Structure 1
């Protein structure tokens, strides 16, 4: 897959979105930035990363063929692709925190932001932004955040990691996008923090509740069995405490 390297950009997702609009005839491509000034996270949050020590990059995948009603299939495939690469380089205890944060030894090591191009009832292309803490060791006062180097004591090649991640994401999307959503979710559940286990969650009001994840819907909602009822939550409507 072709790669583009930039020193500084506001957001690699924004960069690739403009690139896609201007050059629709291009093939799949990924862009890596040494520094992002406004890295994007889920629901408008900001991704902070120390320049030159971490991966901030986005991948454009064209010819996606996934129903919009099953859009979480894409999110699950991307998260599982990141897990696959990290396990291949022996990062221990990697798992997914719904919807697609990646943890290593119960600390966040990666975040994913997916922005889709929709045609009719299907996802036609996808811009997949990934922030991965790699060689940074200090995170100021950020709670439960880590990096690959902090976990293993090793230093990693950023370019090599970006290439592996981009190619693995591309391969898994093309090979598995036609699998039934239930089959993809079954693999996702194997890596999902708190699946079928009692855990504590926090509501936007600040109230803590105890519940068990029973499933994630094809559109990405979280089903949680609470003490008296089963309830469905969207992103940012509930926070998993761990």
Structure 2
């Protein structure tokens, strides 16, 4: 399975396929510690038993119906303080991949979940190791709901549900397209085009410049997202003041 030849320079040229595993991110991290890993190596599984989300949540995915993978990258051109640039590149890659199938309603939910309207299609978890002041390795974990039609969580959806496709998508084919889009944006970050990508990221950001409710420390407040700062913190305007929030400091009220 996953015998693909994506139209990329390096991403997906080496694929480690596991029918089942606890976490592709953990397997990728173990590979980094034990050997010199080729950049762009993929760890992919049909069934992940202990996948993690951004807030430590588990990721629900039926076996062999979706894409569950980790990509090993070496973004040594990024400083430790620039980690969010990689989030932007990966999120835009996933967004553009899905945009080939979905015309409207697709958004990136800060910091890097993928939503169609108010339902989640996928998530990204990037775990970095540092070498001095630079990023040494990045393990980019991606979970995308592709063919699954039944979910226990009402706010989850899939590519097939959104497009109402009568037949399942070919996972090999969609994987190749996904990797091509991710590498495209990764190389743009490497070439110094972050500011251009940030503008696009904001343009497709979930609830950008819209008034909605958020929750901090159990308290509801009304605000609108007005931007992202240089470290990736979310800027929310509320009561004529701008507040900045890190990854686990504020919740969206859906």
TM-score, normalization by structure 2: 0.88
Residue 228 of structure 1 and its aligned partner are, at CA, apart by 4.2
Q: Does 1:145 align with 2:156?
A: yes
- Alignment correspondent of 1:204: 217
Which residue in 1 is equivalent to 2:48? Answer: 36
For residues 247 and 136 of structure 2, the distance between their equivalents in structure 1, rounded to whole angstroms, comes to: 23
**Secondary structure at 1:66 match in 2:** coil
Separation of aligned partners in 2, 1:194 and 1:64: 32
Cα distance in 2 for partners of 1:43, 1:95 equals: 19
Within a 5 Å distance, the mapping from 1:147-226 to structure 2 comes to 147-154=158-165, 155-179=168-192, 181-205=194-218, 207-226=219-238
Query: How many Å separate the matches in 1 of 2:35 and 2:177?
Result: 24
Shift of 1:163: 2.4
Match of 2:243 in 1: 231
Aligned mate of 1:123, from 135, 151, 158: 135
The offset of 1:68, in angstroms, is: 1.7
- Deviation by residue 1:15-72 (Cα, 9 ceiling, x = unmatched): 1111122221534211110111100111322112111111111111125411222211
Q: Does the Cα contact within 8 Å between 2:18 and 2:43 map onto a contact in 1? A: yes
Return 5+ residue gaps in structure 1 as ranges. Answer: none
Equivalent residues of 2:48, 2:68 under 8 A apart:
yes
Runs of 4+ in 1 over 4 A off after TM superposition: none
Q: Tell whether the 8 Å contact from 2:101 to 2:163 is kept in structure 1 after alignment.
A: no
1:60-115 deviation digits (Å, cap 9, x = unpaired): 11254112222111101100000111112335421111101101132100000001
Listed one character per residue, the Cα deviations across residues 173-228 of structure 1 (whole Å, up to 9, x for unaligned) are: 123234254332111001001212212112231x2211011211222211111114
Is 1:70 paired with 2:70? no
Task: Report the 3-state secondary structure (helix = DSSP H, G, I; strand = E; otherwise coil) of the residue aligned with 1:186.
Answer: helix
- What SS does the corresponding residue of 1:44 show, helix, strand or coil? coil
CA 1:23–1:130: 2 relative to 1, 3 Å? same
